[in-house]
Amino acid sequence: MTALKVLISDSLSSQAVQVFEDRGLDVTVVSKLSADELADIIHEYDGLAVRSATQVTAGLLDKAPNLKVVGRAGIGVDNIDVKACGGKGVVVMNTPFGNAVTTAEHAIAMIFAVARHIPQASASTHQGKWEKSKFKGVELTGKTLGVIGAGNIGSIVIRKALGLELKVIAYDPFLTEERAIALGVKKVELDELFSSADIITLHVPKTPETANIINADALNKMKKGVLLVNCARGGLIDELALAAALQSGHVAGAALDVLDVEPAKENVLFGLQNLVCTPHLGASTVEAQEKVAVQIAEQMSDFLLTGAISNALNAPNLSAKEAKELAPYLELCQKLGGFAGQLTTDAIKKIKVSFCGDVGQLSLEPLVTQTIQSLLSVSVKSVNLVNARAVAKDRGIKVEISVSDAENYSTLVRVEVETDSRARNLAGTIFNDRPRLVEIKGVRVESEFSNNMLYITNFDKPGAIAFIGSVAAERNINIANMHLGRLSAGGDAVCLLEVSDPVQNEVLQQFKSSKLIADAKYICFDD
């Protein structure tokens, strides 16, 4: 078996290479590639590990038919087109915890630096000056720190700030009152934070909602003499407005580790004496770089080798244990979804997936996603396990999930598909770790999912089965197994044939030509 291949295209700790190699993966390290150079070789790789330099674009993904996962050693994924990855079925992972402490520490250091003019005083002293009176700072104890964003990094900043005897208030739409109490902070609205805080620090991603969250209007709402710190993302602050506020003295000082355009060779803020600026050093410690490199290598290896998903931005998390437990059920959902999809010719309004018995105790979201993907892939070629939910939503398809106690089987998965014209349902179970079809539209059957199957709805009348057998013989169709069932005597019946070879459309039409046959479908499952 050929080893899975991973490309590291940015500078990562050598420990990451060791992790990949220890897990049996073929790893290549080639940093500082141009976009064209990367595009020329990316088709060879199953995984791509990056930091912030490599640009993972839609164009690059078009050249990467084997790519399964992109791992970002760090938090920010500005350089990765996550949506395009989802469209290609590529899982995007990051390491949200590996450099959280380091970044939080840098934010605290920047608060001290801007409050006590440490960089400016150091530069002055190096020049042989002794300007003690020029660099009079402010004491932090008792001041109010406003934290915008109380997630992984923001919460660490909060804990450290409380240890420094700062009063802390926080704005975060996702911060619950219970979590605020546990952190020891007062939850406030943004305008109250602006007007109350002596120091403001930012710890949010850049999104359409947070872009320029600090603008001229926000700055005008702040206390005169406020200190502003940003170690999160460039683009959160309107730099022109901040420059004006620093020049006027309304903002006494700012400390920025990030800028709107990086690397920054020039900026409207450069040269202002009340600005402290560092070149995006938040995560730049030996410890943090090793942590995120090892973490992303472990996450990518787990995914490629076991299907486990950790810290994914476009897929549900799934442990290695869960992946192993779910494996037979994922195959069952794949078969049920594929079977239902091949039977469905109208626009789908609703998909309902029901879990009965033991399967209801497992992680269900991957099973639902697998069902949706397999069902929709019959008509939507671009659907995959990463974007299946989004594709269903875009098409206005309602997805329902239900869990109940066991019925006639210890474990059962039922798929129901509703269209404008009809509702269709089928169910399956696991027998000897293999998926098995046990019900179609309420009719009991017992069948494996073979590669080639004929699904025939017939009327429960004499001669129907004989007619099916005669057409099969005439058309040289080898029947491996036949499964029969009916709802009631004389009503609709089901004939499910496992056959050796694909069935042509003209054969289906011959079956349908009989008054004994209501419908005939060829169902195919590729290995």
Cβ pair 468, 499 in contact under 8 A:
no
Give the residues across from 277 on adjacent strands.
256
| C-alpha angle 165-168-171 in degrees, rounded to nearest 5 | 165
Q: Is 233 a catalytic residue?
A: yes
Query: Edge to edge, what strands does the sheet with 479-486 contain?
Result: 479-486, 492-499, 452-459, 517-524
The amino acid at 244: A
CA distance 518 to 513: 9
Q: Distances in Å between the alpha carbon of 426 and those of 288, 415, 443, 446?
A: 51, 6, 9, 12
List of long-range contacts for 381-387, beta carbons under 8 Å, 24+ apart:
382/87, 384/86, 384/87, 384/88, 384/89, 385/89, 385/315, 386/85, 386/86, 386/87, 386/88, 386/89, 386/90, 386/91, 386/314, 386/315, 387/86, 387/87, 387/89, 387/314
CA distance 234 to 61: 26
Cα 352 to its chain centre, rounded Å, is 23
CA distance 497 to 472: 10
Q: Is 262 a catalytic residue?
A: yes
CA distance 497 to 447: 9
Q: Is 117 a catalytic residue?
A: no
Cis peptide before 205 (omega within 30 of 0): no
DSSP string, 72-114: ESSS--TTB-HHHHHHHT-EEE--TTTTHHHHHHHHHHHHHHH
From 106, 280, 424, 483, the catalytic residue: 280
Is 375 in a helix, a strand, or coil? helix
Rg for the chain (alpha carbons), in Å? 31
Number of DSSP helices (H) and strands (E) in the chain, helices first:
17, 22
Residue 433, number of CB atoms within 10 A of its CB: 8
- List all residues 6 or more positions away from 196 whose beta carbon is below 8 Å from its beta carbon: 144, 146, 169, 188, 223
Sign of the four-CA dihedral 101, 103, 104, 110? positive
From 72, 203, 233, 389, the catalytic residue: 233
CA distance 520 to 452: 13
- List all residues 6 or more positions away from 88 whose beta carbon is below 8 Å from its beta carbon: 61, 64, 67, 384, 386
| C-alpha angle 204-209-213 in degrees, rounded to nearest 5 | 65
CA distance 465 to 482: 10
From 262, 365, 446, 448, the catalytic residue: 262
DSSP string, 481-496: EEEEEESSTTSEEEEE
Active-site positions read 233, 262, 280
